[in-house]
């Protein structure tokens, strides 16, 4: 079950990351507008589910304990993305810059996720 949850989150991360290329290609291909609207609408709830499922996946995979591991870095980055999105939308000073930070954290998260999939125990404390 724990492995299945991890792959569900991996697929969700790919889906979530598709929002940016879809938006960029939408300028040239208007048929992508309905797809973009769907992905944009489900983006926040899937992000919340990814944090919950990722935490539970890690808890199960680590045998019911909580310690620093490569997956913990992925999860913390994902959590940071959520905080940036929530705070960015709430604070007027941060509103124009939060999306850039959110995208940068997404790149970091995807790199960490790839490293986690390739070698889950490269970091285990």
Residue closest to 113 by CA, chosen among 43, 17, 39: 17
pLDDT (average), residues 50-54: 97
* Cα 115 from Cα 70, distance rounded (Å): 8
| Closest C-alpha to 5, from 85, 24, 82, 13 | 13
* Residue 118: per-residue pLDDT: 95
3-state secondary structure of 94: coil
C-alpha pair distances (Å), 117 with each of 6, 23, 68, 71: 9, 28, 16, 9
pLDDT(17) > 80: yes
Q: Supply the pLDDT for residue 91.
A: 84
Is the pLDDT at 124 greater than 80, yes or no? no
Give domain limits for the chain: 2-118
Calculate what percentage of the chain has a pLDDT beyond 90.
74
């Amino acid at each position: 079950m724990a492995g299945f949850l991890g792959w569900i989150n991996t697929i969700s991360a790919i889906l979530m990351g598709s929002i940016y290329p879809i938006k960029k290609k939408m300028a040239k291909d208007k048929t992508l507008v309905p797809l973009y609207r769907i992905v944009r609408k489900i983006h926040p709830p899937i992000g919340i589910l990814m944090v919950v499922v990722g935490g539970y996946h890690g808890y199960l995979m680590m045998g019911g304990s909580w310690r620093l591991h490569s997956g913990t870095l992925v999860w913390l980055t994902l959590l940071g993305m959520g905080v940036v999105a929530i705070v960015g939308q709430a604070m007027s000073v941060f509103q124009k810059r939060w999306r850039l930070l959110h995208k940068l954290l997404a790149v970091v998260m995807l790199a960490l996720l790839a490293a986690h999939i390739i070698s889950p125990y490269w970091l285990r404390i």
